[in-house]
A and B are shown apart, each in its own frame.
Chain A
């Protein structure tokens, strides 16, 4: 294969990637009252009710005020929900309207299709995370203990949940199927993932069980980046996230190449 051919293929794929990412940004910004506004309102309610009203009665946790303690978890919760929600609804919507065929008939490689959707999910997760972070500044002071860990963890988390949303969308046959996982899996894992409490408050047995919850590792790693405290070892958490990203990416590519739910 000539270098010129490879270069033109690479350039064409980069144009295609940019096209998919722009389309995804256009989608979630066009419907901002459904995508960007609700998490902002929900998180303000969390800050007021849990942080201010109830938090003032709880006292310190991990050496910080309760409000300071829950802010990283709430930012992470928004990132998780929105990166997952963006990919699952966008990809399933494309399947439902059959506009996914526009991509399938084109020469775009499966890696570019997947990367485009994942970048779209990550960007929405980051956009909502940024909005929630700004809102949190009205309630507490925010410090960054370790910028590198903070950025790496938030990017890996958004990527993992974007990939998860993609798998959900591939298998989904109707709109119920895209709400089952967020309602019955994602929400419990997030609430039990140390967003509102330190697992050291739990009996030993439940502390051990909690370690199987992937969200716990993400929330604690992010909390370490912001506050410098964590219930788990950061190296283990980041290692786990890197492995999860690689495994989920492999699964997604296999699904795309096989055309499951897209080709007859």
Chain B
């Protein structure tokens, strides 16, 4: 499978001297659904800004489907669709006009542009609002409008910078299934998000960026394997006054009816339930305290923070 995106030794130092990227290397295979995660200010948006040419790189190379950013910017841009974090369309233009105009910038004749605009606005549930000035759309609709606009020239690589930020759960799930469909059609997708559940559900591979450095770049499966300890919350039938003594399972009582227990993957939970049964503690339900990826993400970022501090 060919490479959709290849980044080598990419650095960016802003005018005020702040170095946002410290020579990152990143490869994303064609057809991948890739998550680029990192805390605020880690360098995600700078990386995406460089790819979309809105931020000028300081050094390094960027290649999209074999097109070099410095040598073939025009060919590279034709392969790329970008959905930015902030709304960046004319608030006075109608939704339909915004999408058709964007197609025109890519040299797509008006007739085809109008057909595609209708198709994507329909697929994203916006056709009913196509004649409405964009400022009158809700936040979720505006996000979907930006997705329709990014797709109108049918890019091979779609980059979404937090596309579901501020979107309600129902809409978020419908956007997930839309993005999954696009990926199944062969479009390579790179996603940044703060919802780690989203990354875990959608993405096959993951890169974690922190302080301008890639601290992890692997498959989601392999990454989750690294998670040795999971924290579970147990809802108890009867209230306890103190946390029970559970050998091999550090536990604390959050309130009378909720017990937090750390479980090492090697141990499993069978032994935990045996010990609870011996103490006559009845459990009504069991749930993860946090998303699994979230636990890993926090530990990786904390490790990197310690390194940077040293």
Contacts and interface: CB of A to CB of B under 8 A. Distances in A.
A97 B88 contact: yes
A103 interface: yes
A15 interface: yes
Interface in A1-42: 8-9, 11-13, 15-16, 18-20, 22-23, 26, 30
Nearest to B55: A264
B107 A263 contact: no
How many B residues are at the interface, by size bracket?
20 to 34
Given A98-B86, A101-B88, A264-B14, A107 B73 contact: yes
A216 to B, nearest CB: 37
Interface in B67-94: 73-75, 77-78, 80, 82, 84, 86-92
A195 to B, nearest CB: 33
B77 A106 contact: yes
B3 interface: no
B41 to A, nearest CB: 14
B101 interface: yes
A107 B76 CA distance: 8
Nearest to B150: A105
A187 B77 CA distance: 42
Could you say which of A9, A101, A109 has the most chain B C-beta atoms within 10 Å of its C-beta?
A101
B55 to A, nearest CB: 5
A261 to B, nearest CB: 12
Given A94-B90, A107-B73, A264-B14, A102 B55 contact: no
Contacts of B52: 101, 104-105
B101 A19 contact: yes
Contact of B101 (A9, A23, A101, A262): A23
A11 B107 contact: yes
Nearest to B91: A97
A12 B56 contact: no
Contact of A97 (B53, B77, B84, B89): B89
A230 B9 CA distance: 64
Nearest to A15: B107
A102 B89 contact: yes
Nearest to A16: B105
A192 interface: no
A105 B77 contact: yes
A259 interface: yes
Nearest to B82: A105
A13 B88 contact: no
A101 B84 contact: yes
Nearest to A90: B90
Contacts of B14: 264
Given A98-B86, A107-B73, A19 B105 contact: yes
Contact of A15 (B73, B102, B104, B149): B104
Contacts of A106: 77, 102, 105-106
Contacts of A12: 106-107
A51 B27 CA distance: 72
B229 interface: no
B97 interface: yes
Contacts of A16: 104-107
Contacts of A99: 88-90
A131 interface: no
Interface string B144-162: 0000010000000000000
B14 to A, nearest CB: 7
A93 B149 CA distance: 20
A20 B88 CA distance: 17
Could you say which of B56, B90, B110, B149 has the most chain A C-beta atoms within 10 Å of its C-beta?
B90
B158 to A, nearest CB: 13
B56 A107 contact: no
A252 interface: no
Contacts of A103: 105
15 contacts: A12-B106, A12-B107, A15-B107, A93-B90, A97-B91, A99-B89, A102-B88, A105-B52, A105-B77, A106-B105, A107-B107, A108-B105, A109-B74, A264-B14, A264-B55
Given A12-B106, A98-B88, A102-B88, 15 more contacts: A18-B104, A22-B104, A98-B87, A99-B90, A102-B89, A102-B101, A102-B149, A104-B54, A105-B53, A107-B74, A107-B105, A262-B54, A263-B54, A264-B49, A264-B56
The 6 closest A-B pairs by CB, nearest first: A12-B107, A19-B104, A106-B105, A98-B88, A107-B74, A107-B77
Interface of B: 14, 49, 52-56, 73-75, 77-78, 80, 82, 84, 86-92, 97, 101-102, 104-110, 149
Interface of A: 8-9, 11-13, 15-16, 18-20, 22-23, 26, 30, 93-94, 97-99, 101-109, 259, 262-264
